[in-house]
Amino acid sequence: MAPPQLEIDTSGKFPELRRGVRQLCDHFPGTYWQRLDAERGYPVEFVTAMTESGFLAALIPEEYGGGGASIAEASVILEEVNRSGGNAGVCHAQMYIMGALVRHGSAEQKERWLPPLAEGRLRLQAFGVTEPNAGSDTTRIQTRAERDGDEYVISGQKIWTSRAQHSDLMLLLARTTPLEKVKKRTAGLSLFLVDLRNASGQELTIRPLETMINHHTTEVFFEGLRVPAENRIGEEGKGFRYILDGMNAERILIAAESIGDGGWFVERAVDYANQRIVFDRPIGQNQGVQFPIAQAYANLRAADLMRWQAARLFDGKRPCGAEANMAKMLAADAAWEAANVCLQTHGGFGFAREHDVERKFREAKLYQIAPVSNNLVLSYLAQHVLGLPRSY
């Protein structure tokens, strides 16, 4: 019998929501995720269950068939998926991508796209922003969208576009005005909702990228892809502002996933340290084993406090850039610390696939690097919060 779940949550909110997600995740144990990891498979059954339960449509307004949830509630959903041993990466993109359409889409666009997304008839899980030669410097992307009557013709390349092969729609950022012709480098970028189902093989090529985790990521090539002008989100040239608006939500959701990962690692470490007998005593009796686990637990709960502060500010429609970034950074670091502690506690067994630690260990590392590197978070805080000179 599994030990009672350790308390990680510092808010005490949404207990029924937590129970509902846990009950769903009980049908998708570690063996399910291990098999998919080995096969590099997409969790069709899990995504279907999340859709049918309404969890995947949590952030879609109720008038369009969604849950009308707060970012705080959405973060709990993703946290509990990872806490259960799953991988919420297949869910978070649709949640935070949705924000651009909800906040900046026209009434016609929302009426057209949101109901089928809420019902699960469409998937919006691909976000085309990063490019090989631009990296985190989004203003230097080279993918072009040129107006041609009632259409835009798009040419260029994106990389690290996860789940493009499993998505019907893609949110795409492209330059509509060359960088050298704008006064401000963040200007001249436009946001489009691309229907991948209508693209031919010549216009669109998607190539899977093999990585150390099963993240279904790809590189995407556009060769004269025609997109109706009516699929542009908001005004031409203001796309950078629209995606920034959704990045705080993204940071908060990623922080919650890391909190979930960290809770899973600490719980596994405690359980194993209590059960593993060496030299006629449980290894958890040794302070050299106890202290790292306790430290990881303390850091995880501290990170959770920042996550909830960021969520309160976001849901209150107040500025939260610093808090959202700090929540993401602190949670990712705390989860990685917990991952290392869990692996160290298990010793050699931590490397055995049957214990599932090595899979989660690999997955937890991602969020120190993506969707934004923790080093860039520090640069943001240094410049925008502390008033230090711009470093990049």
Q: Do 46 and 137 share a domain, yes or no?
A: no
Shared domain check, 138 and 117? no
Specify the range with the lowest mean pLDDT, choosing from 95-99, 160-164, 296-300.
95-99
* Residue 8 forms part of a structural domain: no
CATH number where 171 lies: 2.40.110.10
Question: In this predicted model, what pLDDT tens digit does every residue of 155-168 receive, in sequence order?
Answer: 999 999 999 999 99
Give the CA distances from residue 208 to residues 4, 147, 214, in Å, rounded to whole numbers and listed in that order.
40, 29, 11
Whether 392 is covered by a domain: the verdict is no
SS (H, E, C) 60-104: CCHHHCCCCCCHHHHHHHHHHHHHCCCCCHHHHHHHHHHHHHHHH
Together in a domain, 277 and 231: no
- In terms of domains, do 149 and 132 share one? yes
CATH code at 373? 1.20.140.10
Amino acid 339 reads A
- Region of 317 please: left (phi>0), alpha (psi -120 to 50) or beta: left
Q: Which of 220, 237, 254 is the last residue of a domain?
A: 237
Which of 122, 147, 169 is where one domain is finished?
A: 122
Which residue, among 304, 305, 309, 302, has the nearest Cα to 324 in the 3D structure? 309
Average pLDDT for the chain? 95
Q: What is the pLDDT of residues 57-89, one digit of tens each?
A: 999 999 999 999 999 999 999 999 999 999 999
Dihedral, 305, 311, 317, 322 alpha carbons, nearest 10: 60
pTM: predicted TM-score of the whole model, two decimal places? 0.95
Residue 4 in domain: no
Q: Which residues contact 24 (CB under 8 A, 6 or more apart)?
A: 49, 50, 53, 55
Task: Clarify whether residues 228 and 355 are in a common domain.
Answer: no
Number of domains in the chain: 3
Q: CB pairs under 8 A, 24+ apart, for 283-292? A: 283/345, 289/345, 292/341, 292/344, 292/345
Whether 179 and 164 map to the same domain: the answer is yes
pLDDT for 364 beyond 90: yes
Domain termination site, one of 97, 122, 147: 122
Q: Average the pLDDT over 93-108 and give the result.
A: 91
| Closest CA relative to residue 325, chosen from 274, 238, 384, 284 | 384
Percent of the chain with pLDDT over 90: 92
Q: What is the CA radius of gyration of the chain?
A: 21
- Cβ(209)–Cβ(155) below 8 Å: no
139 and 111 co-located in one domain: no
As given in the structure block, the two tokens for residue 204 are 């669109």
Residue 2 pLDDT greater than 50, yes or no: no
**Which residue type does 261 have?**
D
CATH of the domain at 19: 1.10.540.10
183 neighbors 157 (Cβ within 8 angstroms): no
Same domain, 251 and 233: no
Between CA 281 and CA 121 the distance in angstroms is 55
Query: Which domain does 194 fall in, by range?
Result: 125-237
